[in-house]
Amino acid sequence: MKRPTRPRTLAAALALAIPAILLGASPAHADPVSQTSGFYVNPNSSPAAWVAANSGDGRAAAIRSQIAQRPMASWFGNWSGDIAGAVSRYVGAADAVDKLPLLVAYNIPGRDACGGHSGGGAGSVGAYDAWISSFASAIGNRPAVVVLEPDSLGDFSCMSQAQINDRVGMLSRAANQFRSKAPNTWAYLDAGNPGWIDAQTMAQRLNLAGVANAHGFALNVSNYFPTGENSNYGNRVAAALRNYGYTKPFVIDTSRNGNGANGQWCNPGGRRIGTPTQLGGGAEMLLWLKTPGESDGNCGVGSGSTAGQFLPEVAYKMIYGY
């Protein structure tokens, strides 16, 4: 998966493009996987930071080898400060070692409308449009994978029609931003999970939200449904998209689905890490999008914590499934 050197000058870019032009081919969104030598492991992830600060802890070795050293996504939202700088530094660090970074954009206004534990987001439609534009611009020509706005298309039952209209507009414009400003990025719109919205309805929502201009859609983000169930659901969603004249690939979050789901979504006990980030496996990619051990909120085995807080005991138990 070693990538060829990307053109650094206009002349070089044109030289590479001429054969395609002569053949009459239309330019395609470049494949970021083939441009890199593997997935990026963030040395500053929350489990890596905990291990570094607690190397003498009896749980540290397992958390280091089984979680901290795995490729996982980094989440960006209103806590990230200067979004252009934060994204550029992260993608730049991955690019410097020829690896493919995984990013999650999580800043849409009124996010987590039904769950409530991760509420917040940009203060207005205009603020979000500007934020996501800066996000895409900060990636630029560097390879990346981005998942856009977990839960955003599953939360309609907790929103007004005006809020829904605003949301699909923001997502559609976001997909266009990555298409135009980040040509070596694969962007995926979040599409919930098999236990939430039926496939036909989700396909309709994805279409309204502009998935035609994204690379694909993402399933099971921060959830626990087994990979097989997600594959079946994803294939049904992809088939339903053909009603709109196209279909799309999908990725699955396998970070915490090793023991499947038990009917709860907020820090349920007894869950287990799943298949590490890889190509294929029942989807275009299996990705660790949620960091194992990071809390879903003040609930379940994470009682007393806040969403996103790293809980070493939860992480440790998730390695062994108890």
pLDDT per residue of the chain (322 residues) written in tens, 0 to 9: 433 333 333 333 333 333 333 333 333 468 999 999 999 999 999 999 999 999 999 999 999 999 999 999 999 999 999 999 999 999 999 999 999 999 999 999 999 888 878 888 999 999 999 999 999 999 999 999 999 999 999 999 999 999 999 999 999 999 999 999 999 999 999 999 999 999 999 999 999 999 999 999 999 999 999 999 999 999 999 999 999 999 999 999 999 999 999 999 999 999 999 999 999 999 999 999 999 999 999 999 999 999 899 999 999 999 999 9
Is 128 within a domain?
Answer: yes
Q: Is residue 56 part of a domain?
A: yes
Q: Say what the pTM is.
A: 0.90
Establish if 3 belongs to a structural domain.
Answer: no
Helix axes 199-208, 161-181, angle to 10 degrees: 70
DSSP 41-104: P-TTSHHHHHHHH-TTSTTHHHHIIIIITS---EEESGGGSSHHHHHHHHHHHHHHTT-B-EEE
Identify the H or E element spanning 147: strand 144-148
Is residue 308 assigned to a domain? yes
Are the C-beta atoms of residues 220 and 251 closer than 8 Å to each other?
no
What pLDDT, on a 0 to 100 scale, did the predictor assign at position 112? 86
Q: Each residue of 55-102: pLDDT tens digit?
A: 999 999 999 999 999 999 999 999 999 999 999 999 999 999 999 999
On whether 50 is known to bind a ligand per the annotation, the reply is no
155 given a catalytic annotation: no
313 labeled part of a ligand binding site: no
Widest CA span in the chain: 62
Candidate list 151, 155, 166, 253, residue with the active-site label: 151
Is residue 148 within a helix (H) or strand (E), and if so which, with residue range?
A: strand 144-148
Give the C-alpha separation, 142 to 74, whole Å.
Answer: 16
294 is in an annotated binding site: yes
- Tally of structural domains, the chain: 1
CA distance 317 to 307: 18
Residue 51: give the domain boundaries. 32-320
Residues 95, 112, 190, 296: which is the catalytic one? 296
190 catalytic? Reply is no
257 is in an annotated binding site: no
H or E segment and range at residue 239: helix 227-241
Q: Annotation-wise, does 290 bind a ligand?
A: yes
Is residue 185 situated within a structural domain?
yes
**219-239 pLDDT, tens per residue?**
999 999 999 999 999 999 999
Predicted pLDDT of residue 117: 82
Residue 250 lies in a domain: yes
**What pLDDT sits at residue 21?**
30
* Inside any domain, residue 8: no
Domain annotation covers residue 210? yes
Pairing mode, if any, of strands 285-287 and 250-253?
A: parallel
Q: How far apart are the first and last CA of the chain?
A: 36
Contact yes or no for 74/43 (Cβ under 8 A): no
Tell me if 196 is assigned to a ligand binding site: yes
CATH number of the structural domain spanning residue 163: 3.20.20.40
